[in-house]
Amino acid sequence: MSGAAGATERWRAWLTSEAPVSVRQARLGEIYRLVTAFIGHPLAVAGLAVVLLLALVAMLAPLIAPFPPAAQDLTIRLHPPGAAHWLGTDELGRDILSRLLHGARITLGIVALVTAIAAPIGLAVGCAAGYARGWVDAALMRLTDVFLALPRLILALAFVAALGPGIGNAALAIALVAWPPYARIARAETLALRGSDFIAAAQLAGASSSRIVFRHIMPLCLASVVVRVSLDMAGVILVAAGLGFLGLGAQPPAPEWGAMIAAGRKYMLDQWWVAAMPGIAIAVASLGFNLLGDGLRDVLDPKR
């Protein structure tokens, strides 16, 4: 008993030590500090829990779903939530719970794809524009303005018309309009940071511009961009759902949540669960990302 408690104490003392003796200890200690700060915000932890649950469900969907998502049984169509089907069945007799669980994969997949494309582009463009100033800044910002001016759904429609519908193309279309705000944020942070003394010191040491941007400025902009990304997740999920609703995202019989709502539209009055269940799922996921974003902002926002 005392052994375990003693070990935990030693670990904690090692991590919170004010005089680390190695790079590893310093880095881990910093991470520990951020994690403890994060845990102090109950709502943020709730958001993280929701997101992690979503990820877990997405990963384990084939194992935990009670029925195959595409299994139709027209004899039990539009059954209300009950013992056999916890969330009821849809118009083709498919189990809604199983479809929701598999749909989590699609939702998370789209979110991950959009983030992986939009965030690095936005960060790079913003930091480069903010540090270089002059015509580079002007050119990049006008490019950003062009993309900002395009409404997401219209662009998605145009894209899909050109390349055909599907999850990948939908994600690409969303990413293309998601990156400009990140560029703006990164640029604003860079403008504030480039006059700092530590940047001047790096310049005096002979650091090249790319070294300064990538190793000094970007890590500091990362916090704001991460926060904005997590707050945007909710919006991305909703746009993906919207595209699915229009039939432009996932194609049937893929259990994408937006497509499920579209299909359930007809039965909303009498068999409300067909549309409401995926709707609730979207709301919960969006809320989770929102809370997580708020929590991250409180923890990462540099208020030295």
Residues that bind another protein (CB under 8 A): 18-23, 25-26, 30, 196-198, 200-207, 211, 216, 219-220, 302, 304
In terms of CB distance, is 211 or 265 closer to another protein?
Answer: 211
* Beta bridge mates, 95: 89
Backbone angles phi, psi at 166, to 5 degrees: 150, 165
Q: Taking the C-alpha atoms of 214, 219, 222 and 223 in order, what is their torsion angle to the nearest 10 degrees?
A: -170
In terms of CB distance, is 26 or 59 closer to another protein?
Answer: 26
In terms of CB distance, is 1 or 19 closer to another protein?
Answer: 19
For 11, residues 6+ apart whose C-beta sits below 8 A from its C-beta are none
Nearest distance, CB of residue 14 and another protein, angstroms: 12
Which 3-state string (H, E, C) describes 110-161?
A: HHHHHHHHHHHHHHHHHHHHHHHCHHHHHHHHHHHHHHHHCCHHHHHHHHHH
Q: Look up residue 268 and give its DSSP letter.
A: T
Nearest distance, CB of residue 97 and another protein, angstroms: 44
In terms of CB distance, is 223 or 280 closer to another protein?
Answer: 223
Nearest distance, CB of residue 5 and another protein, angstroms: 21
Compute and round to an integer the Cα radius of gyration of the chain: 23
In terms of CB distance, is 211 or 266 closer to another protein?
Answer: 211
Q: 267-279: buried (b, 16+ CB within 10 Å) or exposed (e) per residue?
A: beeebebbbbbbb
In terms of CB distance, is 8 or 17 closer to another protein?
Answer: 17
Give the residue carrying structure tokens 């915000």. Answer: 41
Nearest distance, CB of residue 29 and another protein, angstroms: 9
Nearest distance, CB of residue 259 and another protein, angstroms: 43
Nearest distance, CB of residue 303 and another protein, angstroms: 11
Nearest distance, CB of residue 221 and another protein, angstroms: 11
What percent of the residues of the chain are helix, what percent strand, and what percent coil, each to the nearest 5?
Answer: 75, 0, 20
In terms of CB distance, is 11 or 86 closer to another protein?
Answer: 11
